Chain A
Amino acid sequence: DAGVIQSPRHEVTEMGQEVTLRCKPISGHNSLFWYRQTMMRGLELLIYFNNNVPIDDSGMPEDRFSAKMPNASFSTLKIQPSEPRDSAVYFCASSRGGEGEKLFFGSGTQLSVL
């Protein structure tokens, strides 16, 4: 079975540009999570969806960040405009949902904003 698929693997952009990160969860999983990881702050939950509906976006740092899940097999995380402090590894993860269900991660997107 294919795991969680993220694209791109690496993104280098200039400050002020729009960045879109993409995620395809594991088929049959109904919960999707976006995390950001930095050395200073570790893994931070940005937002999560259940059945394509955003449940908690309190971790989204600013209005510059937005996430969508138009269907069960695709989600995007957009940063507009990007800033150097957004540089991090962004992980998407999915699970079946429910108590005890494990989280499966994609390989992440390494974002560098210059």
Chain B
Amino acid sequence: RKEVEQDPGPFNVPEGATVAFNCTYSNSASQSFFWYRQDCRKEPKLLMSVYSSGNEDGRFTAQLNRASQYISLLIRDSKLSDSATYLCVVKKNDMRFGAGTRLTVKP
């Protein structure tokens, strides 16, 4: 079993749609959690950290369920510019990435 598993997608949604990504992790001792965004042929960049209480940043909401070892990212009112690959990241001592979920937002 992979340490961090994501639905690879692709997700193809119209502008304005709400889309949710899920991620599960296997190491129950993991300490920190993040969502990164990667555009084509670019490096991954931090989108947001994920806190136990859940957190929101504009149109983006991240949630963590430690009991189920599950992380989610919700994007509301999706924009064309949201098209990218979204990577779930889990940290204990090192940082482990999921394979990413590809999102395409269409006009």
Contacts and interface: CB of A to CB of B under 8 A. Distances in A.
A100 interface: yes
A100 B97 contact: no
A102 B34 contact: yes
A93 B99 CA distance: 17
B65 interface: no
SS class of chain A's interface: helix, strand, loop or mixed?
strand
Contact of A43 (B32, B44, B91, B93): B44
B46 interface: yes
A1 B96 CA distance: 26
Contacts, number: 49
A108 B95 contact: no
Interface in B28-45: 31-32, 34, 36, 42-45
Contacts of A105: 43-45
A35 B98 CA distance: 13
A56 B43 contact: no
Nearest to B85: A42
Nearest to A95: B95
Contacts of B45: 105
Contacts of B97: 35, 42-43, 45
B93 A33 contact: no
B31 A99 contact: yes
Contacts of B95: 33, 45, 93, 95, 103
A25 interface: no
A87 interface: no
B87 A43 contact: yes
Given A43-B44, A100-B32, 8 more contacts: A45-B95, A55-B94, A56-B93, A91-B43, A99-B91, A100-B49, A103-B36, A107-B43
11 contacts: A43-B97, A45-B96, A91-B43, A91-B44, A95-B95, A99-B32, A100-B49, A102-B46, A103-B95, A106-B43, A108-B43
Interface of B: 31-32, 34, 36, 42-46, 49, 87, 89, 91, 93-100
